[in-house]
Structure formats: structure tokens, C-alpha cells
Amino acid sequence: MRGIPSVLSIAGTDPTGGAGIHADLKTFQECKAYGMAVVTSVVAQNTEGVRDVWHLPVEALEEQIKAVLEDIPPHVIKTGMIATPAMIEKTAELLEGKNIPLVIDPVMVATSGDTLMEDESTSIMKNRLFPLAEVVTPNMDEAKLLTGIDIQSQKDAEKAAKLLVDEMGVTAAVVKGGHFTGDAEDVVYYNGEIDIVSAPRTETKHTHGTGCTFSAAIAANLARGMEIKEAISESKSFITNAISNTLGIGRGNGPVNHWGSRFSRDEIIRE
């Protein structure tokens, strides 16, 4: 490992701090990695929904990425919301040949249901970014958009995960099962094997930023030198604690608790 583990997030913003680069930076810190962030889009959102989105010029994205790579090359890069085809093309162009593991959270729809990505961007992401990816972490809705498989069961999730790896070129796929009933079970397909990563389900509306946080934890754990399966398993524990120790803030779908592995809401309030 080269010195301090570092991770770069390339994603959009959340002024309420629950998702996007704000969630990523909190997660990197909690997972003992130095966090950096490149802004793709400025999003006016809160726990109740997305109000407006402004995409940065591609030139601004390019210069941010170059500035980081030239000075503090990250051990791992994590992408979240990259909304436009031109942004995805430029990101892929800048990352090709860099030999830096890439974790992709294919952010397409916010927890509130608001669309965050242009339609054409999905196919370009699959063709340009996925072949560079070490891990991709779609939820069931995102996996359906990416693969065309209507995921109604664990077997469907397994088919989607295999397709992401075998036909789209990612190294490992995690199809998250957070919307199923029963325990929260994620399907992992890596190195020709299916694994199920499970955790008890917490009934709560406070799940804003779950996908961002989970994928950010995977990126940080990879940067610390963990193998893929270990990084995913440790990140499952991290996000489970973040959800189960909810902060209970916000009028809508509140944020997960990035301190969840260390402090519960009650402990924080008592302090």
C-alpha cells in the first residue's frame, strides 16, 4: 500500500449532507481513508426531493480530475452521479489506462424517485465506464434499467449480476436487495461465484444516501488493501449500522447515520 489510503469521489452534491459527495467524504473518513471529491453537478435537494440540478461544464469536470490525478493519485476512484453523456465520455477518457480501481454506483434515480441521469447516459456508461470497473453496485431498479431483467427474485438478481460481469465487463457486481422483504440480501457475483451478503432489515424511512454510502465504503476498504469480497462484506456491516442507528432527521427520507458504527442517535443527543 502506497502511504495513506486515498479515495476520489466523482459525483453530485447534496446540500443537506446525506448523499452524493457529502456522504462519500463522511464515509471515507469513517472508513479510515483520505477523501477527495470532484463535483459533476450541483443538486438543490433535501430529504423530500430534488428541486433543481445544474450540470457543470465538461471542461470544469476535466480540470478537477486532472488536478487530483497530477497531485494526489487516489488508490481507488468512486463514481456516483455523472448525468450527461459528455461527462461520462470525458471521465472514461481520463481514467483509461490509469490502472486505478474504479467503484461505480450507477446513480440514476434519487431515493425520492427523482430522475438524476439523462436517458442516453445509461448506454454510454455501460459501454465506456463499466469495462473499467472493479465493482458496480446497482439497486434492483438500476439493475433492471442496465440489464433489462425485471428483478422479482434472488434468481433474477443473480442473472442480472452475471450479465453485468460476463457481458458488460465489470470485475464484480453487487445487486442490492434492499427492496425485497425479509433480510436485506445483496447478490454478489465475482470470479465466477455467487455469494449472498445478508443483514437484518431495519424498517425505517431514513435511507437517504444508502447507495452512495455503501459504495463509498467499498471504495475506502479497497483503498485500505482489502480484497473485493472482504471489502463488500465490511461495507455491508457499515451501511447496516448506518441504517439501524438512524439519526431521524429531515422531514422526508432522512439521511443514514455515517457515525452509525460508533454512535447511536441517543448517544449523540446525550453528549
Catalytic residue among 13, 16, 78, 212: 212
Indicate if 17 belongs to the active site: no
Amino acid at 261: S
pLDDT at 14 exceeding the cut of 70: yes
> What is the pTM assigned to this prediction?
0.94
| Number of C-beta neighbours around residue 256 at 10 A | 31
Indicate if 40 belongs to the active site: no
d(Cα 151, Cα 31) in Å, to the nearest integer?
31
d(Cα 114, Cα 98) in Å, to the nearest integer?
33
pLDDT tens digits for range 49-80: 999 999 999 999 999 999 999 999 999 999 99
Catalytic residue among 13, 210, 240, 246: 210
Q: Which residues contact 153 (CB under 8 A, 6 or more apart)?
A: none
- Average pLDDT taken over every residue of the chain: 92
pLDDT tens digits for range 188-198: 999 999 999 99
Indicate if 212 belongs to the active site: yes
d(Cα 122, Cα 144) in Å, to the nearest integer?
12
d(Cα 195, Cα 266) in Å, to the nearest integer?
35
DSSP letter, residue 128: I
d(Cα 152, Cα 38) in Å, to the nearest integer?
35
Q: Residue ranges per domain, the chain?
A: 6-270
Q: Comparing C-alpha atoms, which of 116, 68, 119, 114 is closest to residue 91?
A: 68
Catalytic residue among 13, 147, 207, 240: 207
Indicate if 18 belongs to the active site: no
Catalytic residue among 17, 211, 254, 260: 211
Q: Which residues contact 236 (CB under 8 A, 6 or more apart)?
A: 186, 197, 199, 214
Indicate if 211 belongs to the active site: yes
Catalytic residue among 176, 236, 240, 246: 176
d(Cα 68, Cα 8) in Å, to the nearest integer?
8
CATH fourth-level superfamily of 6-270? Ribokinase (3.40.1190.20)
Indicate if 207 belongs to the active site: yes
Q: DSSP string of 160-223?
A: HHHHHHHTT--SEEEEB-TTSSSSEEEEEEETTEEEEEEE-----S--BTHHHHHHHHHHHHHH
User: In this structure, what is the dihedral angle of CA atoms 263, 265, 270, 271, given to the nearest 10 degrees?
Assistant: 50
Q: Which residues contact 224 (CB under 8 A, 6 or more apart)?
A: 1, 5, 31, 32, 33
pLDDT tens digits for range 243-263: 999 899 999 999 999 999 888
- What number is the average pLDDT over the span 101-128? 79
pLDDT tens digits for range 132-161: 999 999 999 899 989 999 999 999 999 999
pLDDT at 46 exceeding the cut of 60: yes
